[in-house]
Amino acid sequence: MGKILHRTKKVLDAASQHDNIAVQDVIRRLLRGSSPETGTESPRAMYKMPFADFDPARFMADFKVPAFDAEGAMALHRKNVEAMTAAGQTAFEGAGAFFRRQNELAREAAEAAAANVNMFFGEASFEDKAERGATLAKGAWDSTVAGAGELADMSTKTGREVLGLIDKRVREAMDETAAMIAPAAKPAEKAAPKTS
């Protein structure tokens, strides 16, 4: 390619020394990629690289990407962590209360059983012992059912409190996230009511 360019320059210099304008014009057109006869561009000069004039800055200017609010995102995350910590604390306290009450019920049942064991070793008749045993068994069953119901209520209450804390935070986080990423509405759009 260097030799051709060098020869072309020599021919152009020779033509300029002889003031041959036609030769100079032909050479200039050849250098530009134009046809010397018609003055139109050659097929090679007409071919354009697909991304030769691609301008990334102009391309990206068409996209409206909102700025990332790092401080807002950190505040959102901090509130999420605080809500999860509160929910965990509530669950932990509820579980502690549940197990303490379960231990109290077990101790009460053991004390009642120990107090009534002596009845079986006394001088009473078999019929009296059977009747007294049935009454004690019914009382033990009633207290067991009542205790299980109380424990179930405690567990349900704790679960609802925990779920309430999480639900409240999730709903707040959704609103906060929407407010962070939603584009600001134009004043005209706010004022104009929608018509269907």
| Residue-wise pLDDT tens digits, 78-122 | 999 999 999 999 999 999 999 999 999 999 988 888 877 777 777
Q: What is the pLDDT of residues 32-61, one digit of tens each?
A: 655 545 555 555 555 555 666 677 777 666
Q: How many CB atoms lie within 10 A of CB 76?
A: 16
Average pLDDT value for residue range 159-178: 94
Token representation of residue 18 = 């002889």
Looking at the structure, tell me whether residues 77 and 154 fall in a common domain: yes
Domain housing 27: 2-61
Looking at the structure, tell me whether residues 31 and 91 fall in a common domain: no
Q: How many domains does the chain have?
A: 2
pLDDT at residue 160 tops 90: yes
- Measured CA to CA, the distance from residue 115 to residue 71 in angstroms comes to 66
Looking at the structure, tell me whether residues 162 and 84 fall in a common domain: yes
Looking at the structure, tell me whether residues 26 and 79 fall in a common domain: no
Length of the chain counted residue by residue: 196
Token representation of residue 131 = 């009747």
Q: 93: Cβ–Cβ under 8 A, 6 or more apart, which residues?
A: 158
Looking at the structure, tell me whether residues 87 and 28 fall in a common domain: no
Looking at the structure, tell me whether residues 76 and 39 fall in a common domain: no
Tell me whether residue 58 is exposed, middle or buried, using C-beta atoms within 10 angstroms of its C-beta: 0 to 12, 13 to 18, 19 or more. Answer: exposed
Average pLDDT value for residue range 3-17: 63
Looking at the structure, tell me whether residues 35 and 91 fall in a common domain: no
Per the CB < 8 A criterion, the answer to whether 41 and 30 are in contact is no
* pLDDT level of residue 12 (50, 70, 90 thresholds): low
